[in-house]
């Protein structure tokens, strides 16, 4: 569990920094061979640009722990995130160093044989992607369903990956939704879940802005889902 993993401090190397969409970057970091990161799917790290005072922020890891050297992050353009602004500025290049500290977070897979249902909003897809890839590697869930809400035009920045999972895996389904209002979009997603899921005995994982997580959590509870079957991660 999360309590079993010590806090680690690692200086990683930027392997790639490329746009996934106009306002979303993929940041690919690689750790040294002798200092791999121990983490659980769904956790986050504090990233800091080396040699730049105050350029640090917490971001969810978007990749699977099965590859503990190559770490992916989805960075959204955000004027309130100085690290994101620095990455979007074009000054960061492959080969540059970025410091990592962590991992942190309790948004991890529980031991269960229930079907898994994931719901993400915008870059809330990062920890959800990590969880899905880990669940697929375990091959224990009877089925996996993903609901992904976008609140901006480029919000489904990895729709092709979702389609690839659906095409390759019999037990995987995905639903992409768009709504410019987070709360209204969360209610729309809850309605889709009620229509699609005949059995509420699933484990639900919700990640995104506070309004998205809270509205969807309350809708699921009102539909009869037990509190212990819902896990949440509120992101900035």
pLDDT one-digit tens code per residue, 100-133: 999 999 999 999 889 999 999 999 999 999 999 9
Residue 197 has pLDDT above 80, yes or no: no
Place of tokens 């993993």: 5
Q: How far apart are the first and last CA of the chain?
A: 24
Q: What is the CA radius of gyration of the chain?
A: 17
Q: Specify the higher pLDDT residue, 10 or 112.
A: 10
| 205 membership: H or E segment, kind and range | strand 203-208
The percentage of the chain sitting over the pLDDT mark of 90, rounded to a whole number, equals 88
Our CA angle for 226, 138, 74, nearest 5°, is 80
Q: Kindly state the DSSP code that residue 53 receives in the 8-state scheme.
A: T
């Amino acid at each position: 569990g999360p309590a079993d993993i010590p806090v680690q401090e690692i200086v990683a190397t930027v392997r790639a920094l490329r746009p996934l969409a106009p306002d979303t970057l993929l940041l690919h970091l690689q750790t040294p061979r002798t200092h791999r990161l121990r983490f659980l799917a769904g956790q986050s790290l504090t990233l800091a640009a080396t040699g730049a005072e105050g350029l640090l922020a917490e971001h969810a890891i978007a990749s699977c722990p099965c590859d503990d050297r190559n770490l992916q992050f989805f960075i959204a353009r955000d004027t309130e995130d100085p690290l994101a602004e620095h990455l979007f500025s074009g000054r960061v290049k492959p080969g540059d160093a970025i410091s990592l500290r962590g991992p942190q977070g309790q948004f991890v897979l529980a031991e269960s044989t229930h079907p898994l249902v994931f719901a993400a909003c915008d870059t809330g897809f990062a920890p959800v992607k990590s969880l899905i890839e880990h669940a697929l590697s375990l091959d224990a869930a009877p089925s996996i369903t993903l609901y992904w809400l976008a609140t901006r035009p480029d919000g489904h920045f990895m729709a092709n990956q979702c389609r690839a999972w659906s095409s390759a895996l019999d037990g995987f389904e995905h639903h992409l939704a768009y709504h410019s209002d987070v709360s209204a979009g969360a209610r729309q997603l809850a309605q889709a879940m009620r229509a699609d899921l005949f059995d509420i005995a699933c484990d639900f994982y919700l990640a995104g802005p506070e309004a998205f997580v809270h509205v969807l959590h309350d809708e699921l509870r009102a539909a009869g889902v037990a509190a212990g079957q819902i896990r949440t991660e509120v992101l900035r």
